[in-house]
């Protein structure tokens, strides 16, 4: 992944970064490494054990729950008419609303 850092002294510096897992780092640097606190931007594991099949199952479950909730809410509602009016557009407009006479 290409990243850049911006500073007043050096301007913009670009770096090419790649992910190295803990075992690779321990092989190259035989020192005590601090424990991992967060997931990095380049970590291929992402947020842990989230896989494509788990994501599909969670999505389908969420859709089923939302559809069931929609049906439950819709089953208890009553249809009421709040306002019912009929407009007849063929009748002439009110005299005050008619266009002004031509003053030629």
Is residue 87 situated within a structural domain? no
pLDDT above 70: residue 97: no
- The verdict on residue 11 lying in a domain is yes
Whether residue 81 lies inside any domain: the answer is: no
- Answer whether residue 88 is part of any domain: no
Count of the separate structural domains present in the chain: 1
Q: Residue 103 domain-assigned? A: no
Specify if 26 maps to a domain: yes
Residue with tokens 């990243």: 3
Query: How crowded is residue 57: how many other Cβ atoms within 10 Å of its Cβ?
Result: 11
Model pTM score: 0.38
Q: Is 14 inside any structural domain?
A: yes
Domain that holds residue 8: 2-75
Judge whether residue 94 has pLDDT over 70: no
Residue 91 lies in a domain: no
pLDDT for 99:
61
Among residues 40, 39, 36, 48, the alpha carbon closest in space to that of 1 is found at 40
What's the whole-number mean pLDDT along residues 55-72?
95
Q: In the chain, pLDDT over 90 holds for what percent of residues? A: 15
List, for residues 16-44, the tens digit of each pLDDT value: 888 888 888 888 888 888 877 777 767 77
| Mean pLDDT taken over the chain | 80
């Amino acid at each position: 992944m290409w990243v850049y850092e911006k500073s007043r002294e050096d301007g913009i510096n670009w770096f090419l970064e790649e992910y190295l897992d803990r075992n690779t780092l321990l092989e190259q640097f035989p020192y005590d490494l601090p424990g991992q606190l967060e997931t990095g931007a380049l970590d291929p594991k992402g947020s842990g054990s989230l896989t494509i099949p788990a994501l599909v199952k969670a999505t389908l479950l969420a859709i089923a729950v939302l559809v069931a909730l929609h049906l439950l809410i819709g089953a208890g509602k009553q249809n009421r008419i709040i306002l019912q009016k009929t407009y007849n557009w063929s009748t002439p407009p009110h005299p005050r609303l008619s266009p002004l006479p031509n003053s030629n």
